[in-house]
A and B are shown apart, each in its own frame.
Chain A
Amino acid sequence: MSGDVLRLAGRYAVLAAAVVLLNFFIPRLLPGDPLTFSSGEGLDASAPMSAAAKEQLRVYYHLDEPTSRQLLAYLGDLARGDLGWSIARPSSVGALIAARLWWTLGLLLVSLGVSLVVGVSLGLAAGRRPGRRGDRLLVSGMAALAAVPEFLVAIGLLAVFSTGLGWVPLLGGQTAFISYGGDASGLLSRTLDIVSRLTLPAATLVLVGAAGFVLVARDAAAGTQGAPWLIVARAKGLRERSIAVRHVLPNIAFPLTTYLALRLGALFGGALVVERVFSVPGLGLLAYQSIRARDYPVLQALFLLSGLGVLVANFGLELLYLRLDRRRGTSHA
């Protein structure tokens, strides 16, 4: 038991180390001098950097030392939580990311939760009687929806609900140039403002995210049809709802967990892209602005943090997986 956990932890430790190393080596192995990018050179040819300033940067980034020393310095900086300085903005990368992290994370977690519940419920309902017209329509619709890039779904929703029906505000994370009172009602109206603006981005992620869960849950639930325990449950006269929740759901938890683990990275990527459509001031918008400004340290930090974040989440899910495996092994064997 604990051997499994240890082996899993070892595997993820290796993967995490690889992410940290990749983050160090990608700029050094790909063509081009890391300094050219780290200093923003080529961006503004009219104001070339002085040799002294270059040398200063070289020393700051330890680029004057051998690679092994650079690696040590990089690891040391990381250990202290120092992600370097942004090129385009007068701020440390860590502060830039910390200020935007919660927009993205909130969007991601809320939409993930909702799409899990909605997707699995729909999938369970469809999987109960596979092959019916409703089931076939749902499957082909969801397959199409899951295939479309997130930002196009976002644009579709924006066109219908914002510019078309005018139900929700168009862009941004909150209304600009408004000061709210410090009291409870001010807090409430600010919250309502943010919620109304995040509805469409979240809805986009829910639509795209739920589509995959519907397909996986439906496939797995359809596979349980005719299983002896299901026939027994039906014969006992249990209500369909409780059969679905108490009997079918635990049996399809496996493929769902697997699928969820696989999707995390993609969901994060989707959130980044959707933020650009709706100008949500989260990591996605930061990424977009950093690409524009060739703000390389920011992009590196985004890669590092998202890579490690996904690994941690996956590790948690695999632990859950082990638990499920164990429970299944003892109770059904």
Chain B
Amino acid sequence: MRRRRPGLFWVGAGLMGLFATIALLGPLLAPYEARLPVGPPLAPPTDGYPLGTNDLGQDTLSLLIYGARTSLLVAVAVTAVSTVLSWGVGLTAGFFRPTEAPLMMLSDLLLALPSIPLYLLVVTLVGPSLQNLVLALALLSWPAFARIVRSVVIEVRSAPYVEAARSLGGTRAHVARRHLLPATLDLLPTKLILTVRFAVFAEATLAFLGLADSGSVSWGTMLSNAFDDPLLFSRPVWPWLVFPPAVAIVTLILATTWLSTGIEGSIGGVPESVGAAAVESGPHAEHTESREGAALTGPRRRSRSR
């Protein structure tokens, strides 16, 4: 049954489309090459520089447009890798019993660690190139959904139709691909949206803490650079240094949040309230959802409702 999607969903979808367009057409839209100093430093908005310039004389609007490319590139890459890992681990752990304990132990460990200190440690060590950043975020963000996928698989694997497929001689790989995988696909939209949001959030936060690819332009780096100036707030142009990247990050993140209102309640396998709470409860929802989901459907099941 298809239910009517709320208006906010369409606002979110429209904004996401807008950001994607800006990112794709970046070089055509930007008035200048973002990294070149093209104007006087710290200029307020004028004809040539619609949003002013930063301390190096780079054009803020151009930086903003190129920053959208970085944010979305990181988001798409992290989401792709992380989703494949979540499903790979979840299906494997749910269906190939011997792998279950070690894989779940590993995901438990990654979920228990405070993520920001871990990112700081790993990304500082390997160097904050775009590629390393994507790998670090993806390799550390799969466990939540791996657990949920696994719990769905466990639910389904004893279903009559799966038993039938196996007794007809279906190989494990065949059953996993044709019968278990489809049962988990309801989770996919939620995973995609949450991970996109997580990646945007994490990229901006790490860049703000000084962990960004020095070769690429990013909204978080723009803010970090602004805050590097101890006299930032005594300069009359400070709003033009701080607000454009801040508003861009907030808008992109809210767009993903609004987008997720369209899929609330359609989360298969996970009890609706848990799914909804996770969708609503922010960037760390990756973590929330998994533990709650695991607590409700996994082996650590507890009597929550009587």
From B210, B242, B284, B302, contact of A292 by CB (8 A): B210
Q: Kindly identify which residue among B108, B223, B295 contacts A15, using a CB–CB cutoff of 8 Å.
A: B108
The 5 A-B pairs with the shortest beta carbon distances in the complex, nearest first, are A269-B116, A146-B282, A265-B114, A143-B280, A266-B284
Q: Are A146 and B121 in contact (CB under 8 A)?
A: no
B91 shortest CB reach to chain A, Å:
24
User: What residue of chain B has the Cβ atom nearest to residue A321's Cβ?
Assistant: B302
With A143-B257, A303-B120 given, is the CB distance from A216 to B114 under 8 Å? Answer: no
Interface size (B, Cβ < 8 Å)?
Answer: 57
Task: Give chain A nearest CB distance to B226 CB in angstroms.
Answer: 9
- For B159, the chain A residues whose CB sits under 8 A away are none
What interface size band does chain A fall in?
Answer: 35 or more
Which chain A positions have C-beta within 8 A of B281? 143, 146, 212, 215-216, 259
A192 partner residues in chain B, CB cutoff 8 A:
none
Asked if B1 is at the interface of the complex by the 8 Å CB criterion, the answer is no
* Complex Cα–Cα for A277 and B305 (A): 43
Q: Which of B122, B201, B295, B304 contacts A149 (CB 8 A)?
A: B201
A2-18 CB mask vs B (1 if < 8 Å, else 0) is 00000000000011001
Interface residues of B (CB under 8 A from A): 8, 105, 108-109, 112-118, 120-122, 124-126, 197, 201, 204-205, 208-211, 223, 227, 233, 238-239, 242-243, 246, 249-250, 253-254, 256-257, 273, 276-277, 280-284, 287-288, 291-292, 295, 302-306
The segment out of A29-37, A177-185, A194-202 that lies at the interface is: A29-37
Whether B109 lies near A15 (C-beta < 8 A) is yes
Q: Which of B112, B249, B273, B302 is the one whose CB lies under 8 Å from A152?
A: B249
How far, in Å, is A147 (CB) from chain B's closest CB? 5
The residues of A that contact B197 with a CB separation of less than 8 Å are: 147
Kindly list chain B residues whose C-beta atoms are within 8 Å of the C-beta of A152.
Answer: 204, 246, 249-250
| Nearest-CB residue, chain B, relative to A269 | B116
Residues in A whose Cβ lies below 8 Å from that of B205: 149-151, 269, 273
A interface residues (Cβ-Cβ under 8 A, vs B): 14-15, 18-19, 22, 26-27, 30-32, 37, 139-140, 142-144, 146-152, 155-156, 159, 162-163, 170-171, 211-212, 215-216, 219, 223, 254-255, 258-259, 261-266, 268-269, 272-273, 276-277, 287-288, 291-292, 294, 296, 299-300, 302-303, 306-307, 309-311, 314, 325, 328-329, 332
Cβ–Cβ < 8 Å partners of A264 in chain B: 114
Q: Which residues of A are found within 8 Å of B211, using beta-carbon distances?
A: 291
B280 in contact with A159 (CB, 8 Å) = no
Give the CA-CA distance A156 to B295 in the complex, in Å: 36
Q: How far is it, in angstroms, between the C-alpha of A163 and the C-alpha of B238 when the chains are bound?
A: 10
- A264 to B126 Cα, complex, angstroms: 26
Among the listed A148, A162, A273, A328, which residue makes an inter-chain contact with B250, where contact means beta carbons less than 8 Å apart? Answer: A148
Determine if A18 and B109 form an interchain contact, defined as CB atoms under 8 angstroms apart.
Answer: yes
B112 and A310: CB pair below 8 A? yes
A30 with B126, Cβ < 8 A, contacts A149-B249, A265-B113, A288-B210 known: yes
Q: How far is the CB of A144 from chain B (nearest CB, A)?
A: 6
Do A262 and B288 have beta carbons less than 8 Å apart?
Answer: yes
Known: A149-B253, A219-B273. 15 other contacts (CB 8 A): A22-B109, A30-B125, A32-B126, A37-B125, A143-B257, A143-B282, A144-B257, A159-B239, A215-B281, A219-B277, A262-B291, A272-B116, A273-B205, A299-B124, A329-B303
Distance, CA A118 to CA B236, complexed state (A): 36
Q: Are A291 and B126 in contact (CB under 8 A)?
A: no
Query: Are B208 and A30 within 8 A (Cβ)?
Result: no
Chain A residue with the shortest CB-CB distance to B136: A30
CA distance A269 to B208 in the complex (A): 13
Q: A329 CA to B295 CA in the complex, in Å? A: 17
